Amino acid sequence: MYQTEKFVAAQAKAIESAQELAQLAIQNAKAITDIHFDVTKEAAESTQAKAAHILAIKEAKELLEIFKPEEAQEVLSEVSVIQSKVAKVISKSNKEVVAMIELAIDESQAELRQMAKEITGMAPVASAPVVTVFDYLFDATLQTFDQAYATSKDAYTNFEKTMESTMSSFQGELMAAKKAATKKPKAIAA
């Protein structure tokens, strides 16, 4: 009966870990949604103000004066800030998930080691070959935990690197756009 209680406790702990991961996912989704909501709200307000200004224009020359390179730089800078905020949320989330995985694996390994000691300690003296097989299977199980951990950590590390690469690429494009926007437009001959 004692082993059954341990198994039930382990399952309860696994369910609790799953709930914590789900809660973390919900918090991060909310943070990203809040960022996008704020940006959308600001964009809608800005668009409405510019549309009202455009509708009030009477000469084509005024329309051309509205669209300035400085405004394009400002928009690109705002997009960069938004991307940075989203990247921070994702990075924080990845680190928290990796920490939770590490903790769960460490706890599971400790429980397995304790269970293995108890089981082999109760084995009769003549069951040495069976204990040896059990020890071999136990070591293989621990290696599986280590492999699962390494795979999970690699996946999160690769995801974070992909995000950083995307951000770097975007920053490069932003800098190129800033350089292009700062060049003086050539006058068109009439």
Relative orientation angle of helices 2-56 and 69-121, to the nearest 10 degrees: 180
Q: pLDDT tens digits for 87-99?
A: 788 778 877 877 8
Residue 97 CB coordination number (10 Å): 19
DSSP for 14-80 reads: HHHHHHHHHHHHHHHHHHHHHHHHHHHHHHHHHHHHHHHHHHH--SHHHHHHHS-HHHHHHHHHHHH
Domains of the chain by residue range: 2-182
Relative orientation angle of helices 69-121 and 128-182, to the nearest 10 degrees: 170
Return d(Cα 57, Cα 2) in angstroms, integer.
82
Q: pLDDT tens digits for 127-180?
A: 888 888 888 888 887 788 778 778 877 887 787 788 777 777 766 776 676 666
Residue 186 CB coordination number (10 Å): 6
pLDDT surpassing 50 at residue 21: yes
Return d(Cα 160, Cα 152) in angstroms, integer.
12
Return d(Cα 49, Cα 154) in angstroms, integer.
47
- pTM here is 0.55
